[in-house]
Structure 1
């Protein structure tokens, strides 16, 4: 599980620093973790009892932890580049096999039907290229209901929602020797990668911080860098953090105007419930 990636995605959604909606968006880290953990489990196993699986090339054996990036780099790939996607690189230890992607999308079909029965849209979600299944532009109350339909009434302890129904269907299909499956939507080669989306978001934050009189360093979460300058005094760090995070309330009391430069960037990129 890539904790840095989860934190970065959740932060863009407003769940970490912006706090746009604790209930509606607070599950972002959980939903971001789910597909990756699930895909890793699928990638490491095959089911020879499935006729369709026999007709496909077997998944490549995963590289030992940490070696995939070295292999990809040795092939001449710049694994630190913003346009690099480790989930689609067979030499990366984060690679998600076609079989794993197909099963994930098959489970999404089950979840989408369940959400439709509950009266909600559930967007196509190929997590390995980014995105989110939640429609944008929902008001606060609707986003709460959407999240509860997906994860159950207590989003801090998911269970009982459409996501669980998808998990059950996935487990039953595996037990029957016929894993779920669905076709992928072709990826637009010109579409920005998850990293490039992050950098666009970061530029919104950086511009706002500059207008507020603060330096905000170039930050690539996948390289372990940070945005706050290292030479600030304690009082300067406090001022910097206030400019970045603001002092907004949570839940229905949240106002992006009070959430600092991060909240402004979340709003301007369309990732809060204030549209």
Structure 2
């Protein structure tokens, strides 16, 4: 009785294995997804995370508005004579500062996924390796766009009038998004290197705060000491703020735009390969 049962089980297993093998051989293997499709898929994943955790939008709405109101009405009269005059100068600068600051959350998101073990699954998939990193950056580009639009709307309510019109505002935001994409690679590197998300945030703030405040975001560098002007005038944030400010004012600051694009290219060429090397080794 047991012998018959054992024989029947072996025959059933053999049939099942043969059927499975025939099925696998008969069907064509799915084509490997392209780099673009996988990058967009990971970008959509980042957007869905915003949908399920809408609190992530707090730093791209409330924080920029608070900065704009505070600096315009606290320092506008002292620095430019009136808040209405100062907002014409400071709004593009605060827009740059706000977007550059929130780029650090790219590294925080990477670090959180590593701690949860999600990256182990990503590494096992037959996909283009950089697509996971690029997906984070594409998803964050939506947050940068939301922050820019919110800042402009509030600025218009407060009296800001871009002489460059709609086209100048769009060109300024596009340049800001391009630079932020390249700048975010620094934080993806730190997200892979450091152990906790708090460490990523601490290191990011140590870099971002000096860069944003030692720039022409709030004041003209001509009022600074000569030794400080040498640093401020060559800061990537200064070139970016001058470019965005000029484009929104209806001008074409070719030199500042060239410097901004150069900085973006250098950041991407340096930190992109370093990030991917760490990602492949981690």
TM-score by length of 1: 0.27
Bigger share in helix: 2
Select the structure of larger CA radius of gyration. Answer: 2
TM-score by length of 2: 0.27
